[in-house]
């Protein structure tokens, strides 16, 4: 066959294949171009953004989300926002900020030295101890935590798992040497004295030494550092330098009220000291549980609560089921911002229990007792200010730390779907008997 005939046949064959393919493509049902578009190689490369790698567990502290509590916002006509401090990445509470601040300042002052045998002592109702125990291990220290024996058992169990030594001591007023805070202070002094190292604090008295156990092996190494969260100014400064600026940025500089409880007073003081100069019209509101004297201290200048009068108190500390906030003495951290607190809201145990259940039922938010108190106070503040305002509060920690006590009293939410907010605000003790 001539060469030109061969070429002709080959060309016709190729053309036939092309026509067949074209017909097949034209007969295929049309699809959304975006659905069939293949990603370009560049689309598979991560876009530039915030750093995704942080330095250790301490790098996970701060920059917590600010969430809108949908149910409370819809019910009140105000925008009720909550700083989700239970999402801090070390001890999962607002106390992560405080613990890190106290440790870092002590290191700057030469009081703590990593991997030297130094031990951090603290008297706490739980969350500060958990944060300190976590960060102590991360930064090369040991932790010794003293806490009241009436706090939820899961807190001390967690502390033990984190490698801390835990003393659960009977509740006692701060004026007594057996108070959990005083015991932690005395143990720290004994530790430093037994190590033979110089100390910045006053050596233990003969009475303190007589009431403490003999120094063990752990006390022969390093110093004992008493964190002293109630009086240590590193507490409120952590919120002045962290929580306050974060809230201002997240709100775009627009908020009408900040609501928070006070145990040590660090959160409300630090945030108020940062926000008030920038927002002079901001209303700062103390959320106080029953049995605490701070409510009357703010409104009337007197540290007293009716539940504390002689013959009525059931517990030796503040008479409430709420843990973490409420106190009957003035601390240095609360004093640091007391003049900036404009109002106070009293919250009963029944109201706190009902609010905790409400947040699970309506929003799927599972929080602890102090957060429930904050949310009740936020609702009352919203009603006082009227619709259209923006109120910010704090969700301090998760309900998982309050299962054996607070949530045992609150009970299971079950299939509840129709609770009214009015029933929460007007909850009574008999509702939980």
What is the per-residue pLDDT for 23? 45
Q: Comparing 185 with 210, which gets the higher pLDDT?
A: 185
Weakest-pLDDT range from 15-19, 147-151, 378-382: 15-19
DSSP state of 395: E
- What is 94-195+221-226's CATH number, 3.30.413.10, 3.30.470.20, 1.10.40.30, 3.40.50.1100? 3.40.50.1100
Burial tier of 400 (Cβ tally within 10 Å: 0-12, 13-18, 19+): middle
Domain boundaries defined on the chain: 59-90+233-431, 94-195+221-226
Rounded to two decimals, the pTM is 0.83
Measured between alpha carbons, how far is 242 from 110 in angstroms, rounded to an integer?
23
What is the per-residue pLDDT for 211? 63
pLDDT at 404 over 50: yes
**369-385 and 349-363 helices cross at what angle (nearest 10)?**
90
Biggest alpha carbon–alpha carbon distance for the chain: 123
Domains 59-90+233-431 and 94-195+221-226 share a fold: yes
pLDDT at 9 over 90: no
* Burial profile 151-174: b = 16 or more Cβ within 10 angstroms, e = fewer: bbeebbebbeebebbbbbbebbee
Residue 45: count of CB within 10 angstroms of its CB:
8
Q: What angle do CA 213, 217, 218 make, to 5 degrees?
A: 90
Measured between alpha carbons, how far is 315 from 321 in angstroms, rounded to an integer?
10
Q: Identify the band that residue 125 occupies on the pLDDT scale cut at 50, 70 and 90.
A: confident
Residues 240/268, Cβ–Cβ less than 8 Å? no
What is the per-residue pLDDT for 46? 46
DSSP state of 62: S
What is the per-residue pLDDT for 221? 76
- What is 59-90+233-431's CATH number, 3.40.50.1100, 3.40.1180.10, 3.30.360.10, 3.30.70.270? 3.40.50.1100
pLDDT at 218 over 70: no
User: For the sheet containing 165-169, what is the strand order?
Assistant: 165-169, 142-148, 119-123, 224-226
**Mean local confidence (pLDDT), 369-379:** 98
């Amino acid at each position: 066959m001539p060469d030109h005939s061969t070429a002709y046949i080959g060309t016709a064959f190729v053309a036939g294949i092309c026509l067949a393919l074209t017909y097949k493509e034209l007969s295929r049902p049309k699809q959304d171009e975006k659905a069939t578009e293949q990603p370009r190689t560049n689309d598979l490369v991560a876009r530039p953004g915030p750093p995704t790698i942080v330095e250790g567990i301490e790098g996970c502290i701060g920059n917590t989300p600010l969430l809108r509590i949908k149910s409370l916002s819809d019910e009140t006509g105000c925008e009720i926002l909550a700083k989700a401090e239970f999402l801090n990445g070390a001890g999962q509470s607002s106390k992560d900020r405080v613990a890190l601040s106290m440790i870092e300042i002590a290191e700057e002052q030469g009081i703590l030295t990593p991997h030297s045998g130094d031990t951090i002592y603290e008297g706490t109702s739980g969350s500060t101890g958990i944060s300190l125990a976590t960060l102590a291990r991360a930064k090369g220290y040991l932790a010794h935590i003293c806490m009241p024996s009436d706090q939820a058992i899961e807190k001390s169990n967690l502390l033990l798992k984190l490698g801390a030594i835990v003393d659960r001591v009977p509740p006692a007023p701060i004026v007594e040497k057996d108070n959990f805070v005083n015991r932690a202070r005395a143990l720290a002094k004994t530790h430093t004295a037994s190590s033979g190292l110089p100390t910045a604090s006053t050596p233990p008295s003969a009475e303190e030494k007589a009431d403490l156990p003999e120094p063990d092996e752990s006390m022969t190494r390093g110093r004992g550092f008493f964190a002293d969260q109630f009086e240590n100014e590193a507490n409120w400064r952590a919120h002045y330098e962290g929580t306050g600026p974060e809230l201002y940025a997240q709100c775009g500089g627009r908020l009408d009220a900040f609501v928070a409880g006070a145990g040590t007073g660090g959160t409300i003081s630090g945030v108020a000291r940062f926000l008030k100069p920038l927002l002079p019209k901001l209303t700062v509101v103390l959320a106080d549980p029953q049995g605490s004297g701070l409510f009357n201290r703010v409104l009337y200048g007197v540290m007293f609560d009716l539940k504390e009068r002689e013959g009525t108190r059931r517990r030796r500390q503040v008479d409430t089921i709420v843990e973490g906030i409420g106190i009957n003495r003035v601390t240095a951290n609360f004093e640091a911002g007391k003049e900036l607190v404009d109002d106070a809201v009293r919250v009963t145990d029944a109201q706190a229990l009902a609010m905790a259940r409400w947040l699970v039922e309506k929003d799927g938010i599972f929080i602890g007792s102090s957060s429930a108190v904050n949310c009740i106070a936020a609702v009352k503040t919203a009603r006082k200010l009227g619709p259209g305002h923006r109120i910010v509060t704090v969700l301090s920690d998760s309900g998982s730390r309050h299962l054996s006590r607070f949530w045992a009293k609150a009970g299971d939410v079950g299939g509840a779907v129709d609770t009214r907010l009015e029933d929460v605000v007007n909850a009574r003790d008999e509702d939980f008997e």
